[in-house]
Structure 1
Amino acid sequence: MPFTRLATATTPTCHLGLGLAAVGRPGYLNLGRDGDLGADRSVDALRARTHELLDAAYAQGVRYFDAARSYGRSEEFLASWLAARPDAADAVVGSKWGYTYTAGWSTDAERHEVKDHGLATFERQRAETGALLGDRLDLYQIHSVTPDSPALTDRDLHVRLAGAAADGVTIGFSTSGPAQADAIRAALAVTVDGEPLFRTVQSTYNALETSAGPALAEAHDAGLTVIVKEGMANGRLAGRYAPDALRGVAEETGLGCDAVALALVLRQPWAGVVLSGAATVGQLGSNLHAAAVDLDDDRAARLAALAEDPHAYWERRGQLPWH
């Protein structure tokens, strides 16, 4: 794994990470978030919540923490937590560039983020991330690459990314949309001076959206660390929203639907880090039980039947409201 410090972690939860998309900004598209966060979405309230989650995750063995420029103040919240926790020197930090947060700390903005994979955006956002996280940044990813992204063909950008890698930052990319597999395979072909540019890939994979699985296996075989996001399908696999098959397996295991859903992802041999997107400490604790789920072949097969057509999945995701 490119993350040396993560690879040497020995805690049972070292393959579970914490993503900060749901708590770094007041609005997000997770189901049930209104009840999770309540009415107070002030900067101070979400900073305190983020720190509480980071404390709880670290205490339970989580070592990878994932932010992005478009996750509101997630980098700022993570940076202030790191500054206050010198004992967390082994924490591994990832962030992303390519989207600009535009909601102005509002939950009902017309647009919450704007995508741009151009070189100028990289230069600007790399400086912004550096000002907050400094040398604590381990991984910098292109945010939501699709097959038509100019980030796959911009040679000047590739050279700049390779320069960041030479300075010690691991370079990766994330994917979104129904053509994730195509984007992954295209990114695997990107080289600078004959060497592969990307060392990690972060993709959506869950019981409902499995289409990227074969390409993620190829990426793993090529030596990339695979990070899985949206293992809970933006809340569609949690609690009262979970499909009956998932509820049935959860009842059999005696654990929550969320733990079972994440356990299905952990079961994939190519999954290096699986992200929890918890918004509360209670959710985080339940998510971390994924490592203890007894998910045998029969139960896994029943969950595999939940997979949707990727175009239908992403269309539905695009219709989720920002809470």
Structure 2
Amino acid sequence: MPFARLATATTPTCHIGLGLAAVGRPGYINLGRDHDLGEDRSVESLRTRTHELLDAAYAQGVRYFDAARSYGRSEEFLAAWLKARPDIDDIVVGSKWGYTYTADWTTDAERHEVKDHSVQAYERQRAESTELLGDRLDLYQIHSVTPDSPALTDKELHAKLAEAAAEGVTIGFSTSGPAQADAIRAALAVTVDGEPLFRTVQSTFNALETSAAPALTEAHDAGLTVIVKEAMANGRLADPYAPDQLKAVAEETGLGCDAVALALVLRQPWAGVVLSGAATITQLASNLHAAVVDLNEDQLTRLTALVEEPGAYWDRRGQLPWH
């Protein structure tokens, strides 16, 4: 598996990855984007920003980079960065298929992405990803699997994914919604010729939403690499939006709310890679301090009190505006 490369990494930040959802397209649901990105969200501006973030992340030990077909031009930006740096061969590149970006580089589209887990969508998007990333694509994930997703039962799709795995691409899936645990367990049961199909799982887990933890433990125990997304709850755990309990713990550590929130996830024994969704170099630097945060039992107890009921958490997330 490509994530075995991280086992030999020497920097404390090697298990923090950089996700490109926030910088691959002008509109997203993260809080604070007006401050983070400003008014200039042209393709060239976000390409430059993405490359600067990738440079900074790599220089500080980050070795996993995460894109998706629905993240605007994230694959294109990442591919251009890789092409300009042919000597970089110690990273893991992941992307996702299953959503199509439909906002046409605007922030006020009626629909920003359309979900489709069919074989036809996979074949189209796999070709698009391959055209951009070529053999640099290590991991290809089904984007946002839910318990009712046809991707869990479509045998033709499973066979196509198994073909990609035989060609050397690691196959994984991501999850979203209040029933993440059910989706994870269903995916763990998917096999092709008696062998498990999926080798990675990417799920939402953070101080507010912890419901997937038991299933992620099962996935880890089954040999899957666990990638954690939305560890910052789309900005709800960052200054100035963070809950008072988190702000108090952050003040005690002398670091930012973001570093504490990410550290809480990093300490989970099943967490293989935790994604930073930084949109600025300053945010990235602050996020990477998570690798050195040491939380005591009292602080952990106080942070545990932040957990929300999954339905309420995902309802709140669903109400966040694209901006």
Specify if TM > 0.5.
yes
Question: What corresponds to 1:254 in structure 2?
Answer: 254
The unaligned stretches of length 5 or more in structure 2 are none
Question: What corresponds to 1:104 in structure 2?
Answer: 104
Name the aligned partner's letter for residue 110 of structure 1.
Answer: E
Alignment of 1:53-202 (within 5 A): 53-202=53-202
RMSD between aligned alpha carbons? 0.7
Counterpart CA distance in 1 for 2:6 and 2:126 is 23
- SS at structure 2 position matched to 1:288: helix
Length-normalised TM-score, structure 1: 0.99
Cα offset for 1:182? Answer: 0.2
Check the 8 A contact 1:2/1:199 in 2, yes or no: no
Check the 8 A contact 1:204/1:228 in 2, yes or no: yes
Check the 8 A contact 2:2/2:92 in 1, yes or no: no
The answer to which of 293-302 and 236-245 deviates more is: 293-302
The unaligned stretches of length 5 or more in structure 1 are none
Check the 8 A contact 1:139/1:169 in 2, yes or no: yes
> Deviations along 1:213-235, whole A, 9 cap, x unmatched?
01000000000000000000000
Cα offset for 1:8? Answer: 2.3
2:289 maps to 1:289: yes
Structure 1 stretches of at least 4 aligned residues deviating more than 6 Å after TM superposition? none
Question: What corresponds to 1:308 in structure 2?
Answer: 308
Question: What corresponds to 2:217 in structure 1?
Answer: 217
- SS at structure 2 position matched to 1:49: helix
Name the aligned partner's letter for residue 84 of structure 1.
Answer: A
Cα offset for 1:2? Answer: 4.7
Cα offset for 1:294? Answer: 1.3
Cα offset for 1:87? Answer: 2.8
- SS at structure 2 position matched to 1:143: strand
Length-normalised TM-score, structure 2: 0.99
Name the aligned partner's letter for residue 186 of structure 2.
Answer: A
> Deviations along 1:54-103, whole A, 9 cap, x unmatched?
00000000000000000000000000000111232112100000000000
Check the 8 A contact 1:203/1:212 in 2, yes or no: yes
Check the 8 A contact 2:238/2:258 in 1, yes or no: yes
**Amino-acid identity (%):** 84
Counterpart CA distance in 2 for 1:87 and 1:242 is 40
Aligned length: 323
Check the 8 A contact 1:2/1:225 in 2, yes or no: no
- SS at structure 1 position matched to 2:51: helix
Counterpart CA distance in 2 for 1:217 and 1:140 is 22
